[in-house]
Amino acid sequence: MAVYTDVSADDISAFVADYDIGAVLTFKGIAEGVENSNYLLQTEGGNFILTLYEKRVRAEDLPFFIGLMDHLAAKGINCPRPLHDRNGVALKTLCGRPAAIVSFLQGISLRRPSFAQCGAVGRAMAEMHVAALDYPGFRANNLSLSGWRDLAARCAAGSDEVAAGLEKTILDELAFLEQAWPKDLPMGVIHADLFPDNVFFIGERLSGLIDFYFACNDFLAYDLAVSINAWCFEADGAFNVTKARQMTAGYIAVRSLSPAELEVIPLLCRGSALRFLLTRLYDWRNQVPGALVRPHNPIPFLQRLRFHQHASSAAAYGLEPAALA
């Protein structure tokens, strides 16, 4: 949960007056998004979300994110659609912070997705990948290999206090991934953080994808690996192969995966597990007294990493090409 910036009634009324959405009826901080301040905004024109971008989001990346949501929404993807004010501007300033109003998406985040819901996530991800193929923006993934090396330098030393052997596990894995990481897979814009918090459902129907603030250009199949880590492990740490198979089947119903992409799924899953292990470990070991957000435990991603280290091929994920056909 997070509402970092205090916005007064006068502030929001003056801000909303720049748009053609009528007067403010309701304005409430909501517990959604850990990087930014988010508010439910009801006006005479409907329901919206106001986001104030806090310091963990780089201001120079915001045009990429806002432009991406504009691009995807125009292609019919159910994602927040940035509102433009009377001068056509979507990215504005409020209380000294970059700020934007986006459309409100109905739906609920899931805790225990069904097989069908995992399939719907794979399908929606592929639709997003395809819709973004002609998006002209570019943003490098600063949380890929070189970013992991930087993070490890700042949090691996002494991490055995979190789990025995963790420092060596991280450094060995980094060394392995630096020599094994693929170089020539299909690329495009990926969400890069498509966890259950960021997908809304109304019943079995996927109603929207949110929180594009880690989106970047990278291997498309890496996004699938992120979501396998995010959706296909149970609370006790067990891998659910049926969920992975459903998610991948949903994906390839929209965009096919080449044999080369399928083959490196275990490797991409290792990298993605390391990415979340490192960011969570960093936040876990650098807790800010009085912070409003409790950091996630990194250990579940150490467990996922160990699972992927022992997966010899895509078959361990139920992803043999024949099984998906």
Residue 253 interacting with a second copy (CB under 8 A): no
SS3 265: helix
Residue 136 interacting with a second copy (CB under 8 A): no
Residue 301 CB, shortest distance to a second copy, in Å, is 20
Residue 95 interacting with a second copy (CB under 8 A): no
Residue 31 CB, shortest distance to a second copy, in Å, is 3
Give the interface segment with a second copy, choosing from 10-18, 148-156, 169-177, 257-265 (CB under 8 A): 10-18
Amino acid type, 280: R
The rounded distance, in Å, linking the Cα atoms of 174 and 69 is 33
Do 274 and 239 touch, CB atoms closer than 8 A? no
Residue 8 CB, shortest distance to a second copy, in Å, is 4
Give the interface segment with a second copy, choosing from 24-32, 150-158, 210-218, 222-230 (CB under 8 A): 24-32
The helix or strand, by DSSP H or E, that contains position 52, with its residue range, turns out to be strand 46-52
Residue numbers 173-202 binding a second copy by CB under 8 A: 201-202
**In this structure, what token pair is assigned to residue 239?**
């891998």
Residues 6+ apart with CB under 8 A from 229: 269, 272, 273, 276, 301, 304
Report how many residues bind a second copy under the rule CB under 8 A.
Answer: 33
Neighbours of 313 (CB within 10 A): 12
The rounded distance, in Å, linking the Cα atoms of 157 and 47 is 47
Residue 43 CB, shortest distance to a second copy, in Å, is 10
Neighbours of 25 (CB within 10 A): 12
Residue 237 CB, shortest distance to a second copy, in Å, is 19
**In this structure, what token pair is assigned to residue 110?**
């899931």
- Residue 40 vs 185, nearer CB to a second copy: 40
Which of 26, 93, 146, 258 touches a second copy (CB under 8 A)?
A: 26
Residues that bind a second copy (CB under 8 A): 1, 3, 8-10, 12-13, 23-32, 40, 42, 106-112, 201-203, 289-290, 292, 294
